[in-house]
Amino acid sequence: MLTSLGFLEERLNDLRLQYKVPLEDLDFGLRPLRNNFDATRMIKYVKNNKVIEVYIEDFKAIACDEFNLGDITQIIKDTQYTYVDNRSDEDINDSDFILDGATDQRNEDDDDSNFILDSATDLGSVEDDDDSDFIVDEDNLFEDVDVDMDDFWAGTTKYQASGPNQDQRVIDFGERTCACRRWDLTGMTSSHAMACIWDMCMNGIGDGIPEKWVDEAYWLKTWKKVYAYTIEPINGWDLWASSKSPTILTAPKHHKQIGRPKKERERNPL
C-alpha cells in the first residue's frame, strides 16, 4: 500500500506510522502503529468510527555516536530540558536530564480546570496503560452529541428496533427472523428489518439491497427456473401404448346436481 502511494520500497524501514484516537487531539491522541498488537488496538475503534486518521512520518535514524556529549549539552540548553552543570562532561549521565514538564502546573482562570501534568509519568505509560485510550481533552469536547437509538446494534447479527408507538422488536439477520413474525410468515422483510437494513447500509455493514433479504421464492431467477424446462409435445391417445397394469381405472358415476336443471334452450344474444 505504501509503495502505491509513492514511497520507495527500500525506504519503508524509515517510515513511522501513527494513528489518531477519535475525539482526541494530536497532543494526546497519537498512538504508534508498529506491529500487530498496535493494529489490534486500532481496530477496536473501527466499529464506532468510519474514518481512522493515520499519519506517516518519513525520517532517517541517526546513530548516537555521530554526536558528542558537548553537542547534546548544547541541544539541551536550547530546549525545555534542564541539566546539572556543576560537574564535568564525563560525570554527566542520563539521570541529570530532567523534563521541566514533570513539575509544570497550568493555572487557568477557572479553578475547576487547574491540573498538574506529570509528563514524565504520562510519556512512560501511554503505551502500557489501557486507561490512556480514554484521555479526554476538556478544551475540545463535542457539544450536544445526539445519538439516534432507533436502530441499535445488539451484537453479531441481531438488531433491536423501536417504533413510534413504543413497539420494540428484535431482528436476527442470521436467521432472517423478526419478532413480529411477518418476515417468517411472508418471506418479505418487515418494517423493523427495513429500518435495520438502512442502518447497515449507512454504516457499510452487510448487504444494503433490500431485495436480497426476501425469500428466494420472490426472486426473478427462481421464476425463470420454473419455466427453464421445455414441455415436449405428445401424440394422441390412439397411439398410446397399452398399460400392463392389472388395475383398471373406471370413470366415476355421473350425479345430477341438486336444484332445478338448467334449460337446454339458449337465448339469442341479439
Domain ranges of the chain: 3-61+97-140, 151-223
What is the pLDDT confidence band of residue 137, given thresholds at 50, 70 and 90?
Answer: low
The dihedrals phi and psi of 74, each to the nearest 5 degrees, come to -65, -35
What is the pLDDT confidence band of residue 167, given thresholds at 50, 70 and 90?
Answer: confident
- pTM of the predicted model as reported, rounded to 2 decimal places: 0.31
Is it the case that residue 221 has pLDDT exceeding 50? Answer: yes
Strands 30-32 and 81-82: unpaired
Distance (Å) of CA 136 to CA 28, 37, 179: 8, 23, 40
Contact 215, 187 (CB under 8 A): yes
Q: What is the pLDDT of residue 155?
A: 58
What are 14-31's pLDDT values in tens digits? 777 888 888 888 888 888
Q: What is the pLDDT of residue 37?
A: 81
What is the pLDDT confidence band of residue 2, given thresholds at 50, 70 and 90?
Answer: low
Is it the case that residue 129 has pLDDT exceeding 80? Answer: no
- The H or E element that residue 56 is part of is strand 54-58
Is it the case that residue 249 has pLDDT exceeding 90? Answer: no
Mean pLDDT of the region 206-220: 79
Question: Average pLDDT, whole number, for the chain?
Answer: 70
Is it the case that residue 33 has pLDDT exceeding 50? Answer: yes
